[in-house]
Amino acid sequence: MEWETVIGLEIHAQLSTNSKIFSGSSTAYGAEPNTQASLVDLGMPGVLPVLNKKAVEMAIRLGLAINATITPRSVFARKNYFYPDLPKGYQISQFELPVVAKGHLDIELDDGSSKRIGITRAHLEEDAGKSLHEDFHGKTGIDLNRAGTPLLEIVSEPDMRSAKEAVAYMKKLHALVRYLGVCDGNMQEGSFRCDANVSVRKPGQPFGTRAEIKNLNSFRFIERAINYEVERQIELIESGGKVVQETRLYDPDKGETRSMRGKEDANDYRYFPDPDLLPVEITPADIEAVRASLPELPDAKKQRFIQTYQLGSYEAEALTASSELGDYFEAVAKGTQDAKLAANWLMGGLAALLNKHELEISASPVGTDALTQLLNRIKDNTISSTAAKDVLEAMWHGEGTVDAIIDQKGLKQISDTGAIEAMIDEIIAKNPSQVADYRSGKDKLFAFFVGQAMRASKGKANPNTVNDILKQKLEG
């Protein structure tokens, strides 16, 4: 019997508040060490935390977007453990009463069907600082700039059954937090990171013992780490061993997970309600106010794109991956009155350039107006699609406006029927045997004549005009 994989994810999303969750320090990334650490962040004797209401509002935003229950009275608790980058010796988190309870997110599977992933909870907590091990001559440096940065930890049910599903879930959540404006989603800077709980079992059996894989900060690593871990567990069990509950670390260089600490080394965190903070009271009116400020969410946008623009499910999904991409698409679709063409170019030529240069749509050097003009030049037969690709590339590199580039490169399409007729007459005259073959039924030769015509025009002849005239003359 086949093995079944069981995966649950804990995702830490860093909330995009300007200041920290319990102090007024800035949360900006990349400052000089310890320049964004206030007395509160340093855990000075006598200081007290004051909750940043913005962080709570952002948690509610996410909660509403995943159809979760918002806890009317949630409680901050202290998670006690010693670590040099944890200044107070405890992390302020939420334990028994998280701000967001039970919700769900639907993911799309490869076969086009949809699967509902349960979300157990999402709770607010503060991030720790960073330990720096280089340049301190055998000692460790501590940078507390990150200490106190607000995090939302989103815990899923063990509902995923493959690494692919896990990635799909994570991507969906990644898109969602960015739609909501609650997290910048920057995985390299650690703004969106994930721990995976992985186990295997025979279908129908109770859950197997799980291993927790820590700190996965790219979609690729998650897929690889889970697949590696699943193989490891299956091999272990099949060779008579037992999976032990432990925390494992993924090594992206070696492509393997390795044991970090066992269950017996796990801390007893001695959670208890933080007496320095009052319970967080959230009224139905607070919730409605947040609900009213929610943007159109990815699923709704996707359905609207399918209906309004007659897009396929796959295209609609791709074009709603971020709200910026969706907005970009809509602007071009409206400007060209041709949603299909806009979709093709966004997912084709422009996407290729963005991928190549590792840019987000919001950073694209070619804006919606420029792309709209370009596509309109295809539509009004000024240039061919092939030529348009060159123009796009030139615009990307800042070589000028659409029309300037077309002129400069001499890409204007020949639609003058007289000129094309003359050209075709010449081709027919030069290739009598092919003409004879075609006329005797070798239809495939039509492409040969088109090719000749395009070559003769250096690619500038309007292919539709060429087709029409060729047909006339050859049928002759």
Partner 1 sequence: MSQDAISALSLKELHDGIHSGQFSVMEATDTYLDRIERLDGKLNTYITVLREQAQQQAQAIDQQIRKGELTGPLAGVPYALKDLFCTEGILTTCGSKMLSNFISPYDAHVATQLKQAGGVLLGKNNMDEFAMGSSNENSAYGVVRNPWNTNCVPGGSSGGGAAAIAARLAPMVLGTDTGGSIRQPGSFCGITGIKPTYGRISRYGMIAFASSLDQCGPMAVSAEDCALTLNVIAGFDERDSTCANEPVPDYTATLNDSVQGLRIGLPKEFFATGLDSQVAAVIERAVKEFEKLGASVKEVSLPNSHLAVPVYYVVAPAEASSNLSRFDGVRFGHRCENPKDLMDLYKRSRWEGFGEEVKRRIMVGTYALSAGYYDAYYLKAQKVRRLIKQDFVDAFKEVDVIMGPSAPTTPFKIGEKADDPVAMYLADIYTIPTSLAGLPGMTFPIGFAADGLPVGMQLIGNYFQEARMLNIAHQYQLNSDWHQQVPAQFA
- List residues binding partner 1 (CB under 8 A): 39, 42-51, 78, 80, 82, 84, 87-90, 140, 142, 268, 270-272, 275-278
Residue with smaller CB distance to partner 1, 78 or 178 = 78
Q: Which is nearer to partner 1, 45 or 476 (CB)?
A: 45
Question: What is the smallest separation between the CB atom of 305 and partner 1, expressed in angstroms?
Answer: 45
- Burial bucket for residue 299 (CB in 10 Å: 0-12, 13-18, 19+): middle
| CA 367 – CA 281 distance, rounded (Å) | 44
Output 92 or 325, the one with its CB closest to partner 1.
92
Q: Please, what is the minimum distance in Å from the beta carbon of residue 37 to partner 1?
A: 10
- Tell me which residue has tokens 């590339």: 393
45 or 240: CB nearest partner 1: 45
Q: How far is the CB of 88 from partner 1 (least distance, A)?
A: 5
Q: Which two tokens stand for residue 372?
A: 């709209």
Quick one: 325 exposed, middle or buried, by C-beta within 10 A (0-12, 13-18, 19+)? buried
Q: What angle do CA 393, 394, 400 make, to 5 degrees?
A: 145
Give me the amino acid identity at 473.
K
Give the nearest distance from C-beta 49 to partner 1 in angstroms: 7
Interhelix angle 163-180/298-309, nearest 10 degrees: 90
The pair of structure tokens assigned to 284 is 């139905």
**Closer to partner 1 by Cβ: residue 131 or 303:** 131
Produce one character per residue of 95-123: b if its CB has 16 or more CB atoms within 10 Å, e if not.
bebbbbbebebebbeeeeeeeebebbbbb
Q: How far is CA 423 from CA 459, 467, 473, in A?
A: 13, 13, 12
Closest approach, Cβ 52 to partner 1, in A, equals 12
Which is closer to partner 1, CB of 13 or CB of 92? Answer: 92
Q: Compute the least distance from the CB of residue 89 to partner 1, in Å.
A: 2
Taking the complex as a whole, the smallest distance from the CB of residue 82 to partner 1 amounts, in Å, to: 6
Q: How far apart are CB 285 and partner 1 at their closest, in Å? A: 20
In contact, 305 and 109? CB cutoff 8 Å:
no
Vertex 323: Cα angle to 317 and 324 (nearest 5): 115
3, 106 in Cβ contact below 8 A? no
Output the smallest distance, CB 8 to partner 1, in A.
22
DSSP string spanning 91-140? EEEE-SS-SEEEEEEEEE-TTS-EEEEEEEEEEEEE---EEE-SSSTTS-
Q: For residues 87 and 185, which CB has a smaller minimum distance to partner 1 in the complex? A: 87
Between CA 329 and CA 316 the distance in angstroms is 10
Nearer Cβ to partner 1 (37/346): 37
| Complex with partner 1: residue 83 or 314, whichever CB lies closer | 83
CB 166 within 8 Å of CB 195: no
